[in-house]
Amino acid sequence: MDNWRKSSHSGPDDGNECVEIANSPTHVSIRDSKTPSRATLTFRTGAFAAFVETVRTDTGHLHAAVETN
C-alpha cells in the first residue's frame, strides 16, 4: 500500500507518538511512523473495525497485558 497517512491523534508538535494508516477496499494496514520500514499490521477491513472497537472499550485489559509481558 502506498497511501499512508498519519493518525489525527498523532500527539503534540510533530506527532512523534504516531501511527500511520493505509487502506484498500479490502484491507487496512497500520505502522509506526518513526520506523515505517519495520513491521506493519494488516487487517481485513471488518477485522480492523473490531480491533479499533476493542481498543476503545477495553484499554484496561490491554494495559495489563502490556505490563505483564
Tens digit of each residue's pLDDT (9 = 90 or more) over 5-42: 886 666 666 556 688 899 999 999 999 888 888 889 99
Q: Which domain holds residue 45?
A: 5-68
Looking at residue 64, what is its pLDDT?
Answer: 53
pLDDT above 80 (res 48): yes
What is the tally of structural domains in the chain? 1
- φ and ψ of 58, to 5 deg: -130, 35
Place of cell 497485558: 65
pTM passes above 0.75: no
Residue 67 pLDDT > 70:
no
- φ, ψ for residue 29 (rounded to 5)? -120, 145
Q: In the 8-state DSSP scheme, what is residue 38?
A: S
- The C-alpha torsion from 63 through 12 and 16 to 6, rounded to 10°, is 90
How is residue 8 written as a grid cell?
489525527
